[in-house]
Every structure is written in structure tokens, then in C-alpha cells.
Structure 1
Amino acid sequence: MSDIPGGPMENRPVHFIWILDCSYSMSGEKIGQLNYAIREAIPEMRSVAHDNPAAQLLVRVMTFSTTAQWHTPVPVSIDDFTWQDVQVDGGTNLGAALALAARELETPPMPQRALKPVLALVSDGQPLDEWRTGLKAIDATPWGKKAVRVAIAIGQDADRGVLQEFLGNPELPVLDANSPKQLAAAIRWASTAAVKAASQPVAGGLTKAPGPAFAPPTLDDDDDDAVW
């Protein structure tokens, strides 16, 4: 039964935002594997979306280097979303990226009846700007507080402390991706488990320890020649 007079409840949007480090340290295999991993995860994102018909999954991509910009200018339905490769350029100004994301987490532009957004941050380095200012801007927004957050650290040089602060919960893990295979597993998990968690029509964000629906993947050591 619907709680809305006159018919069934309409689909409520789930905004999934990739926040991708495209600094020069991502050059070569890292950026190539990141592009490949996200492209390959799209069919699984569609499958999860179809399993949650009350939620409308909308995807958007932001890149950051010396500046932050929207790689995907407007949110796109996962059924219509196609991956466009990102390129490296410049430094690691994470604060600019978080501030840009914060502006999209206000109401408006976010609708009042949306489900929790997903913020998926991927980085391999250390921020060069005042990143906490951007993080505070996200935390100050209604939807930033409710967001399901995922953080993926690529390689040994990634600042895991920064990524842990972004998560805002010491019981949530930063995902370590030290090889192409581990990166693919982390991206696949972020693309599916986070969407499942966000699609649940409950108030608030992910504030408790991860349960079975949001348990991190086991990223085992592998035999890849490339270890970042």
C-alpha cells in the first residue's frame, strides 16, 4: 500500500557521486585501471538498481587535480550512463573537490524526497590544499550528513588518515587497493554494496558498524606483477 494518496510512491533518487583523484601521481597504470574498473562495474550497478525499483539511481563523476570539476555535468540515470575515461592533470586539491560536492548536497539542488546519496572518494596521494574546509562544508549540508561514504586508497602513498576522516566513522574501513585486482574488487564493492545501503528508505546515514549488507570486501594479496 502506498502512503501517498492517489497512487504508488514514485521512485526516489539515489545520487551516486564518484570523486576521483586525477593528479599526476595517478599517471600510467593507475588511471588506466581506474577507468577500466569503473567501466566494468556499470552493469553490476544497473543490476542493483533494477533490484531496488523504488530507488532511481543517478550517477555523476567529479575529478580533481589542481582544480575540481564535474566530469559528468549533470546526474545521469544508470540505465543511460556511459563511462568516459578520465585523464590526469596537476596536483591533489581534495578540498576543492569536497567544496564542489557540498554545493550539490544542499536542498535544492537535491530534492527533499531523495534517498541517501553515495559519495565514493578514490585517491592515491596526499591533499595539497585545505581539505578539511571542504569536508566541513559537506558535513554542514543536510544530505552530506546522511550520505553513505566510501573511500578507496590506491597504493602505499595514499593518505589513509585523510580518507578515514572523510568517512566520518572509525568503524568504517578505508579500502586498500594496492594492485589492479584489488582496485577492481574495491570499485565493484563500492558500486554495489553502497548503492544497496543508500537505497533503503530510512532516515540518517550509515552510522553503525558495517552489517552484512555493507561489509567490506576481502581484498586478498594476489600475483599481479604491479603492486602500487
Structure 2
Amino acid sequence: MENRPVHFIWILDVSYSMMGEKIGQLNYAIREAIPEMQSVAHDNPAAQLLLRVLTFSSTANWHIANPTPVESFTWQDVQVDGGTNLGDALYAVARELETPPMPQRALKPVLALVSDGQPLDEWRDGLRAIDATPWGKKAVRVAIGIGADADRGVLQEFLANPELQVLDANSPKQLAAAIRWASTAAVKAASQPVAGGTPGGAKQLAPAYAPPALDDDDDDDVW
């Protein structure tokens, strides 16, 4: 079977509200999830998993700009800086979901949004830009809300599917579990060709694509 790319894009909130334990745990969780992503890629030889990372604060920046094969991917820690301009980030992602630069015969991309706050810009304009691209409509989307201040309404709109749920990460343990799930289950969903050969169809997400219940310890830190 022809090897087809799965583009996985982390969209990470690195605003000042992430300072301290949150940003440290985010870096740790993604770094620890990379071997599991490599294992998922190994089990899906028909798909080539390519990773990149976009961060957003007062501006959006490609932290890792080039689509990098997961086999050679090395995590580079992100740092906090500025406000929460989610719209800028979504516009940047939308530009990458056009064809080109996306190849015509890719599998569904994965967009994984992680945030602990509320956007300070016109973020819906950026979301509409994603939705206006063919690959944006087809994408498997995951949203993780860190702590009590994360705007779950914004994250739910990003998912664009009422049957999907925002993953709540209110402690280091929950964040690690959420990142691990997003790094594996979403990739598995994206790696499966759509039934009937119609990418982006209404039934593109398998029933198994549902966030898990995240257990926690009573003595764990709560954000």
C-alpha cells in the first residue's frame, strides 16, 4: 500500500499564564509521548507521521516549522511569552492546510490545540480560515484545556463536532494522560482511510475516537 503522510500539528498556548509548573509539565508530557507516537506510526506502516509545532502568545510562531518524520523527531522545550492570540495561530495553521503546501494524497491531518486561558484576539476569524480549507474540514481535531481558567467554549468550537469533548487537564497527572491520548488515539483515527474512499466524509471519526476519563490523585497539584 502506498505510504501516505499524516501531518500532526501541535498548537500550543505559551502565554504568561502558562508560566511555571504548567509549561514545565507540558514540555515533559509531550517529550514523554514521542516514543508512543513512534510506536503508533510503526504499527501503521501505510501512513507516514510528520510532526510540527506552532506556539502562540502575543504572536504565533512555528517552533518546529518543517514537517518532521516522527522517527527522527526530537522535542525542543517551549518557553512562555506574552498574551493569548489564538486567532493568529489558527490563521498560520490554515495557510498550511491549503493544497499546496499539503499534498493531494495525504491522510487526514491532526490538529491538537492546548490552552489554559481565553483568546485576546478575533480567534473565530482564524477558525473560519481553517474551516474554509479542504484539509481543515477533514482534520482530526483534539483540544486540551489546562486548569480552571481555560475557556472550554472556545476549545469546543475548535473541535467543530458536538460529539467530541474537550479534554480537561487540571493537574500534572491529567495533562500527561491527555497529551498521551492525543498523541496516540488521534493519530490512529487519522491513519485510517475513510470508508467508501471519501476523505472528509461525515463519518470520518470512528466511534472509538472519544476522550478517556482522566483519573487523578487526591494529593496531586490542581491548577
Asked if structure 2 preserves the Cα contact closer than 8 Å seen for 1:181 and 1:224, the reply is no
Q: 2:181 aligns with which of 184, 189, 193?
A: 189
Equivalent residue number for residue 110 of structure 2: 118
Query: How does 1:43-192 map onto structure 2 within 5 Å?
Result: 43-192=35-184
> How many residues are aligned here?
219
Asked if structure 2 preserves the Cα contact closer than 8 Å seen for 1:68 and 1:93, the reply is yes
Distance 2:103 2:148 in 1: 39
Asked if structure 1 preserves the Cα contact closer than 8 Å seen for 2:164 and 2:210, the reply is no
Deviations 1:134-169 (A, max 9, x none): 000000000000000000000000000000000001
Asked if structure 1 preserves the Cα contact closer than 8 Å seen for 2:165 and 2:210, the reply is no
CA spacing shift, 1:124–1:206, aligned 2, 3 Å: farther
- Structure 2 unaligned blocks of 5 or more: none
Equivalent residue number for residue 221 of structure 2: 226
Identical-residue share of aligned pairs (%): 84
Distance 1:206 1:182 in 2: 30
CA spacing shift, 1:205–1:42, aligned 2, 3 Å: farther
Equivalent residue number for residue 3 of structure 1: none
Equivalent residue number for residue 204 of structure 1: 200
After TM superposition, give the deviation of residue 215 of structure 1 in Å: 2.5
Deviations 1:82-121 (A, max 9, x none): 0000000000000000000000000000000000000000
Distance 1:167 1:20 in 2: 15
Distance 2:167 2:67 in 1: 25
CA spacing shift, 1:187–1:74, aligned 2, 3 Å: same
CA spacing shift, 1:206–1:83, aligned 2, 3 Å: farther
Counterpart amino acid of residue 25 in structure 1: S
Distance 1:205 1:35 in 2: 34
- Structure 1 unaligned blocks of 5 or more: 1-8
Counterpart amino acid of residue 222 in structure 1: D
4+ long deviations beyond 3 Å: 205-210
TM-score, structure 2 as length reference: 0.95
Cα RMSD (Å) of the superposition?
1.3
Q: 2:17 aligns with which of 18, 21, 25?
A: 25
TM-score, structure 1 as length reference: 0.93
